[in-house]
Structure 1
C-alpha cells in the first residue's frame, strides 16, 4: 500500500492541500484582522504590505537558486521543506496572535510577522513546486497529477475562505490559526513521507549564480509562457476580488448569498479538471493550454448578462470551466520547458525556473490594481459611500469586459509560443557547453 502511494499524484497533491489551507486563510483575512479587529491604520497596513511584496519579489529567485544547489542524501527539496515546516506553521499563527499593541508598535509587529511568514512560505512553495517536473515524467502522468493537484487546491480554497469565518467567529482568530497550522503540519508531513526525490537529479554539479540566471532569462519560450500566464493570473485575481462588488451592484443580491456565487465557480472546477487532463493527453500540453485561454475568455462573457443569483450561478459554473483549464494546463507545459533546459544544460534547475516564473506571474497584481483604478475613474466609482452614477456598469465591465480583454491578450501571446530547439536533436542552436562557463 505504502509503495503504491510513493510519489503518486495523490500523495504529492497533499502538499497543495497543506499549503493552500493556511495560505488562503492568510490572504483572505489578514488585512481584515489588522484593520477591522485591531484598528491598524490602512496607510500603515499598505506600507507593511509594500515592504512584504518587495521582499517577496527578491527572495524567490534566491531561494530557488540555493535549492537547486542543495545536495543531501534525501534530495534537494525535502531538506528545505522539512526544515521550514515548523517555522511556516509558527509564523502563520503569529500573524493572527499579536501581543496587545497599538499604533506604530503594532505596525512593526505586523510588518515583521509578514516578512517572517512570507520568507518561510516562499521556501515552501518554491521547493514544493520544483518537485513536480522531477517526480512526474511525460504528459499523461503530469496531466493526471496536475488535475488532482488543482482539485485539492479548490478544496483548500473553500476551506480557507468558507470554514475560516466559522472558526474565527466561534473561537477567535488565534485558535483558527492554530487549527489550520496543525492541519498543515499533519498534511505536509504525510506528503513528505510519501515523496522520494530522484537521486539522478542531484548527480551533476550545479551552475554558478550568474550562469543559472543568465541561461534562464535568455530562454524565449520561458518568457512567452510566463507572460501569457501573467494575464491569465490577473483575471483570477480580478474575479476573486470583484465578485462581491459584482454581486452587490450587478446581481443586487445580499452579502449572505455571495458565498453561493463563489461556490458555483470553485466547486465546478473540481470535476472539470478531468476534462483538461484528457485534453492534454489527446492534443498535447501546448494546444490544451492555448484552448484553455480561449475557453476561459468566452466563459466570462455571460457574467455581463446575469441579473439575479441563479443566472449568476449558471454564469459562475461556466467560468469554472475556463478556470479549471487555466489551473491544470500550465504546470504540464512548464515541466516540458524545464525538461528541455535539462537537455541543453545537463542540469536540472526546477528551483530557479519555478521561482523566476512565480515572480513574473505575481506581477499580475499590478495589472489587476491598475484595471480596478482605471475603470473606477472611468465610471465614477470611488467607494461604497460614493459609488458614482453607474456602479453596476463599472463592475459588469470589470468582471466581464476587462477579463475578456486580458484573456484575449493571453491567448494571442500563447500563439507565439514555440518550443526552443534542443542541441543534438536537429537544432542549429549552440551546444550546452557553449552556454556554460569555460
Structure 2
C-alpha cells in the first residue's frame, strides 16, 4: 500500500476519536453527573436516557435509508456526514457542560439532539469506510485504523474527566473539558476528512424500493449469520462491561483500581488491532476473529478463580482480554463490508448505509440486553448494586460467574457461527468483479 493511500486511510479515520470520546461518558459518566452533581432524580435521569435510546433506535433505519438515497454533487456520504458534524459537536458540548440549574427536560432535549446527530454522523462515516476499497485485505486495514483511533478516543474519554474531577458543577469540571475537546475536535477532524478523502465511487445500477431492499437483506444469509454472531458476541462483551466496576469494587475489594484497570484494558485494545490485522492477512478475517474469541474465552474462564485483592492477576486478564477486544472491533466491521457486496451484486444498489444502520441497531440492542439481563439475574442471588453494605458470598460468587463464565459461553456460540463463514477472499473477489465489471 502506498504512503499516499495509507495517509488517506488515516485521515479518514481521524473523526473516530472524538466520536468515541463522547460515547463512553454518555452511558457511564452523564447519568452519575446529572444525578449526583446536579441533584436530579436518578429515576428521572434513567427515564430520560431511556427515551433518548428509544429515539435512537428509530433514527438508525431512517438515517441509514436516507443516507443511501441522498445523492448530491458533493457526495452522498460526505453530505450526510458534513451536515451532522456541527449538530453532534454542539449537542455534545451542551450535554457535557450543562448549566448548574439544568432540568431533566434539558437532558432529554439535548440528549435527543445528540442521539440524532451522532447516528447521522456514524452511519455515513462507516458506510464511507466500507466503500473506500473493494479489496478484501485493504478493508481490514481501513477498519483497523478506524477502530484503533476509536480506542484512543475512548482512552481520552476515560482520562480527561478525571483529570480535574466532576464534583463541582459550578466550576470548569472534567466533563466540561471533555465537551469542549469534542466540540472543537469533531468539526475540525471531520472537515479534514471531507477535504482530503475522496467520495467513494458508487456502483449502484438501479434504485431499489424499501420493500425490495428489505427482501434482499433478508435473503443475504451471510449477513444474517454475521450480525447474529456480532450480536451474541456484543452481548458477551456487554455483560462484563456492565459489571466491571462492581467486580473490581465488590469482588476484588479494590475500588481505587477501577480507573487504572479500565485504562489498561482499552490501552491494550489499541495494541490488539494490528495483531488482529496481522493474523487476518495470514488466515482469513472470520477465522482470525474466531481465534480471538476463543482466546478471550479461555482467559476469562480463570476470572472466577480469583480472590479478594488479586489485582495483579486481574490486571493480566484485563491486559490480555483488552488485546483481544481489538479483534472484536476491527474484524467484524471489515467482514460487514464484504457481505454488503453480496447485496450490491444481487440488488444492483449499493446500500451500505442500510446495512450499517442494522449493525448500529444490533450494537445498541446487545448493550441494552446486557444491562437488562445482568442486574435482574444478580438480584436473584441477593446482589445489591446500590448499597454500601458488604455483599454475601453467594452474591459475590454469582457476580464472578455472570461476569466471566456466562460471556464465555456466549462467545463460544459466536465462534460456532463464524468459524466456517461462507465468504472468503476468493469469493469476495468474484463478487467485486461482478459489481465492477457487469
Matched residue SS, 1:268: helix
Aligned-residue offset at 1:394: 2.6
The equivalent residue for 1:359 is 361
Q: Indicate the larger mover: 48-57 or 301-310.
A: 301-310
Partner SS, residue 77 of structure 1: helix
- CA distance, structure 1, for counterparts of residue 421 and residue 137 of structure 2: 21
Query: How many angstroms apart in 1 are the aligned matches of 2:15 and 2:405?
Result: 35
Cα 1:61–1:328 change in 2 (3 A) is same
Q: CA deviation at 1:352?
A: 0.2
Superposed, 1:412-423 pairs within 5 Å as 412-415=416-419, 417-419=421-423
Equivalent position of 2:26 in the other structure? 26
Q: Does the C-alpha gap of structure 1 residues 121 and 289 become closer, same or farther in structure 2, counting only changes over 3 Å?
A: same
CA distance in 2, matches of 1:7, 1:267: 23
| TM-score, normalization by structure 2 | 0.88
- C-alpha displacement of 1:33: 1.6
Q: Residues 362-415 of structure 1, C-alpha deviation per residue, up to 9 Å, x if partnerless?
A: 211243123312431342112323554224313211221121122122222334
Structure 2 equivalent of residue 270 of structure 1: 270
Which one is further off, 143-152 or 385-394? 385-394
1:326-360, Cα deviation, whole Å (9 max, x unpaired): 11210111111011211112211100000012212
User: In the TM superposition, what is the alpha-carbon distance from 1:156 to its structure 2 partner?
Assistant: 0.7
Other-structure match for 1:290: 290
Partner of 1:436: none
Superposed, 1:115-264 pairs within 5 Å as: 115-169=112-166, 171-172=172-173, 173-201=175-203, 204-253=205-254, 255-264=255-264
Distance between the aligned counterparts of 1:298 and 1:3, measured in 2? 38
* Counterpart among 384, 388, 396 of residue 385 in structure 1: 388
CA contact (8 A) 2:272 2:323 kept: yes
Where has structure 1 moved over 6 Å in runs of 4 or more? none
Instruction: Give the gaps of 5 or more residues in structure 1.
Output: 433-438
Give the equivalent residue in structure 2 for 1:281.
281
Question: For 1:109 and 1:206, how far apart are their aligned partners in 2?
Answer: 41
- 1:33-67 Cα deviation digits (max 9, x unpaired): 21111111122122212211111111111111111
Aligned-pair distance for 1:100?
5.2
CA RMSD of aligned residues (A): 2.7
SS at match of 2:198: coil
Which blocks of at least 5 consecutive residues in structure 2 are unaligned?
none
- Alignment map for 1:300-315 (pairs within 5 Å): 300-307=300-307, 308-315=310-317
* Conserved? CA contact 2:56–2:119, under 8 Å: yes
Q: Which residue, out of 394, 407, 413, partners 1:409?
A: 413
Contact 2:300 2:317 in 1 (8 A): yes
CA distance in 1, matches of 2:91, 2:312: 41
- Cα 1:162–1:57 change in 2 (3 A) is same
2:80–2:120 CA contact under 8 A, matched in 1: yes
**Distance (Å, rounded) in 2 between the aligned partners of 1:316 and 1:100:** 37
Q: Conserved in 1, the CA contact under 8 Å of 2:35 and 2:42?
A: yes
Corresponding residue for residue 299 of structure 1 = 299
Do the aligned partners of 1:276 and 1:329 also contact (CA within 8 Å) in 2?
Answer: yes
Partners of 1:51 and 1:18 in 2: CA distance:
24
What do the CA deviations read for 1:231-284 (whole angstroms, capped 9, x no partner)?
A: 21123322223222111222222x332222123321112222222112211111
- 1:100-142 Cα offsets, whole Å, 9 max, x none, are 547xxx2222211111110010000111011122102222212
Cα distance in 1 for partners of 2:390, 2:377 equals: 12
| Native 8 Å contact 2:285 2:335 kept in 1 | yes
Q: TM-score, normalised by structure 1?
A: 0.88
Change (3 A) 1:176 1:276: closer
CA deviation profile, 1:302-339 (whole Å, cap 9, x unmatched):
32233422111111112123212111210111111011
Tell me how far apart the structure 2 counterparts of residues 139 and 365 of structure 1 sit (CA, whole Å).
29
CA shift at 1:85, angstroms? 1.0
Partner residue in 2 for 1:48: 48
Change (3 A) 1:378 1:338: same
